[in-house]
Chain A
Amino acid sequence: MTAAPVRADLLEIAALIEPDTRVLDLGCGTGELMRLLEESKNVSARGIEIEIERVMDCVAKGLSVTHGNIDEGLQDYADASFDYVVLSQTLHLVSRPGLVLREMLRVGRRGIVSIPNFGYWPMRIGLLVRGRIPRTGCFSKPWYNTPTGHVVTLHDFRHFCSENGIVVEAQRFVTTGGSLSRVLAGGWPNLFAQLGIYVVTRRPA
Chain B
Amino acid sequence: MAGDEPQMEQAQPRPDLPPWQQPDSVGLVEPKDYTFAEPPNEMPLDSGAKLGPITLAYETYGQLDEQKRNAVLLCHALSGDAHVAGYNSPSDRKPGWWDAMVGPGKAFDTRRYFVICPNCIGGCKGSTGPMSINPATGRPYARSFPVVTMADMVRAQKALVEHLGIRTLLTVVGGSMGGMQVLEWAINYPDAVWSAIPIASTPRLSAQGIAFNVVGRQAILDDPNFRDGNYYDGEPPRRGLAIARMLGHITYLSDESMHEKFGRQLRDRDDYSYEFDVDFEVESYLQHQGQVFTERFDPNSYLYITRAMDYFDLAGKHGSLEAAFRHVRSRFLIIAFSSDWLYPPYQSKEIVSVLRASRAHFAYCEIPSPYGHDAFLLEKDRIGRLISDFLALEYSRALAHPG
Contact = CB atoms under 8 A, between A and B. Distances in A.
A59 B390 contact: yes
A78 B4 contact: no
Which secondary structure characterizes the binding site on chain A?
A: mixed
Interface in B347-402: 349, 352-353, 356-357, 359, 361-368, 382, 385-386, 389-390, 393, 397
Interface string A129-151: 00000000000000000000000
B321 to A, nearest CB: 12
Interface string A3-34: 00000000000000000000000000010000
Contact of A59 (B349, B353, B363): B363
A83 interface: no
B248 interface: no
Contacts of A46: 356
Contacts of B146: none
B364 A65 contact: yes
A140 B129 CA distance: 64
A63 interface: yes
A64 B361 CA distance: 6
A56 B365 contact: yes
Contacts of A56: 365, 382, 385-386, 389
A101 to B, nearest CB: 21
B4 A67 contact: no
Interface in A34-80: 44, 46, 52, 55-68, 76-78
Contacts of A76: 349, 352-353, 356
B52 interface: no
Contacts of B365: 52, 55-56, 59, 65, 67
B391 to A, nearest CB: 10
B96 interface: no
B367 A64 contact: no
Given A52-B382, A59-B389, A76-B353, A65 B4 contact: no
A60 B363 CA distance: 10
B53 interface: no
A30 B1 CA distance: 11
B366 A60 contact: no
A67 B356 contact: no
B389 A60 contact: yes
A52 B335 CA distance: 11
A62 B393 contact: yes
B366 A67 contact: yes
B333 interface: yes
A64 B334 CA distance: 11
B222 to A, nearest CB: 43
A60 B6 contact: yes
Given A65-B363, A76-B352, A60 B4 contact: yes
Contacts of A67: 364-366
A56 B1 CA distance: 14
B359 to A, nearest CB: 8
Residue among A57, A66, A78 with the most chain B CB within 10 A?
A66
Contact of A63 (B363, B367, B397): B363
B65 to A, nearest CB: 20
B196 to A, nearest CB: 14
Nearest to B392: A60
Given A59-B333, A76-B353, A77-B356, A64 B363 contact: yes
A64 B4 contact: no
B364 A66 contact: yes
Contacts of B367: 52
Contacts of B353: 76
Residue among B349, B364, B393 with the most chain A CB within 10 A?
B364
B363 A58 contact: yes
Interface string A76-90: 111000000000000
A66 B390 CA distance: 14
Nearest to A62: B393
Nearest to A44: B359
Contacts of B352: 66, 76
A96 B205 CA distance: 35
Contacts of A61: 4
B195 to A, nearest CB: 11
Nearest to B387: A59
Contact of B368 (A44, A52, A78): A52
Interface string A148-178: 0000000000000000000000000000000
A60 to B, nearest CB: 4
A56 B4 CA distance: 10
Contacts of B390: 59, 62
Contacts of B397: 62
Contacts of B386: 56, 59
A170 to B, nearest CB: 27
Given A52-B368, A59-B365, A59-B386, 12 more contacts: A30-B1, A56-B386, A60-B4, A60-B6, A60-B389, A61-B4, A62-B390, A62-B397, A66-B362, A67-B364, A67-B365, A78-B357
- In the A-B complex, list the 10 residue pairs whose CB atoms are closest, starting with the nearest: A60-B389, A62-B393, A66-B364, A76-B353, A67-B365, A59-B363, A67-B366, A65-B363, A60-B4, A64-B361
7 contacts: A46-B356, A52-B368, A59-B390, A60-B6, A68-B366, A77-B356, A78-B357
